[in-house]
């Protein structure tokens, strides 16, 4: 074999090596880009899910029997739920049309008079009280939602020992 041909072959092998290296680099880059996109998508989906979770309306159910506020709460908790927390106007408007009875909701100022708290311990920010309520008449510390036409004024505080049906949210 002549010297020229040997050099040509060596050059070909070098070129092939470079091409292979380039292909590997491209593959690596594509993998990194795809991986990054996957991670971004995953984070996005998780964030969406978390946000949707915190805003979502749950499953609502009402007890057949009437009970005190504490018994109502226990009734809900025994079923993996709790008395409903109504902390947005949207939720208040959603729930109100289904209210056909006096129903306990998860709001009470039993601990400190006038300091209404939800069952998750969060403070009441916006109330949807019947005019004149809450009036703490003879020590009323627990709250019911009542079936009246005005869906933005249908809460009343009543004695916690009175018996009403429970409105639970899971
Ligand atoms: O007049 C408002 C008043 O009406 C009732 O008491 C007479 C309610 N009590 C019950 O529904 C148990 C009060 O909570 C209400 O403030
Ligand atoms: Ca009252």
Residue with CA closest to ligand 1 atom 11: 158
Q: Model pTM?
A: 0.73
CA distance linking residue 91 with residue 112, whole number of Å? 26
Ligand nearest to the CA of 136: 2
Task: Convert the pLDDT of each residue in 17-49 to its tens digit.
Answer: 777 887 787 688 877 766 666 465 566 555 555
Cβ atoms of 44 and 33 within 8 Å: the answer is no
pLDDT at 7: 57
Pick the atom of ligand 1 nearest to 162's CA: 12
pLDDT at 16: 76
The DSSP letter of residue 123 is B
pLDDT at 149: 98
Ligand 1 centre from 125 Cα, in Å?
Answer: 23
CA distance linking residue 128 with residue 143, whole number of Å? 11
Beta bridge partners of 165: 103
Which of these, 2, 155, 12, 7, lies nearest to 84 by C-alpha position? 155
pLDDT at 18: 76
């Amino acid at each position: 074999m002549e010297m020229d041909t040997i050099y040509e072959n060596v050059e070909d092998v070098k070129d092939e090596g470079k091409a292979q290296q380039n292909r590997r680099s491209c593959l690596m880059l594509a993998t990194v880009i795809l991986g990054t996109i996957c991670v971004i998508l995953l984070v996005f989906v998780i964030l969406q899910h978390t946000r949707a979770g915190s805003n979502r309306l749950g499953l609502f159910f009402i007890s057949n029997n009437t009970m005190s506020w504490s018994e109502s709460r226990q009734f809900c908790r025994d079923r993996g739920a709790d008395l409903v927390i109504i902390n947005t106007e949207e939720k208040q408007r959603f729930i109100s049309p289904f209210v056909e009875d006096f129903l306990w909701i998860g709001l009470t100022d039993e601990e400190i008079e006038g300091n209404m708290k939800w069952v998750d311990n969060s403070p009441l920010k916006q109330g949807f009280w019947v005019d004149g309520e809450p009036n703490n008449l003879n020590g009323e510390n627990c709250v019911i939602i009542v079936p009246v036409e005005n869906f933005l004024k249908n809460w009343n505080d009543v004695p916690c020992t009175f018996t009403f049906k429970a409105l639970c949210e899971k």
